[in-house]
């Protein structure tokens, strides 16, 4: 069954842009929270100080930029994490996720 949205209730292009901007800001906020968690974990577990934490931040920022440009980026990440590092994480169905 298809849902019908009356024309009067549909979002305008401007409203869609506002929603996308808000969504992007939430995603960025969540990303930065996990980066901060990672930095604290590296500091507590492995003694990372300012310089090594800054290097990590630079690397993760570079990788995040690459992820935006490379269609199969996450498949490469899975190969490293699952096959090379032997961590028991599940592969994602990137074709379904990245639609």
pLDDT grade, residue 38 (50/70/90)?
very high
| Residue 69, pLDDT score | 92
Q: Tokens representing 25?
A: 């800001």
In the chain, where are the structural domains located? 11-97
The torsion angles phi and psi of 85, rounded to 5 degrees, stand at: -85, -10
- pLDDT exceeds 80 at position 59: yes
Whether 49 shows a pLDDT value over 70: the answer reads: yes
Q: Give the pLDDT confidence score for residue 22 in this predicted structure.
A: 72
Could you tell me the pLDDT band of residue 1, with boundaries at 50, 70 and 90? low
CA atoms lying within 13 Å on the CB side of residue 68:
5
- Could you tell me the CA-to-CA distances from 70 to 64, 77, 90, 93 in Å, in that order? 10, 11, 21, 16
Output the pTM of the full model: 0.66
Q: List pLDDT tens digits, range 4-15.
A: 666 667 778 888
């Amino acid at each position: 069954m298809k849902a019908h949205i009356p024309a009067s209730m549909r979002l305008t292009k401007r409203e869609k842009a506002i929603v996308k901007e808000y969504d992007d800001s939430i995603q960025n906020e969540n990303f930065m929270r996990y980066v901060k968690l990672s930095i604290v974990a590296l500091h507590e577990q492995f003694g990372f100080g300012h310089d090594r934490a800054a290097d990590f931040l630079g690397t993760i920022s570079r990788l995040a930029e690459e992820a935006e440009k490379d269609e199969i980026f996450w498949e490469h990440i899975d190969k490293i994490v699952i096959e090379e590092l032997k961590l028991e994480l599940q592969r994602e169905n990137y074709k379904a996720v990245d639609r």
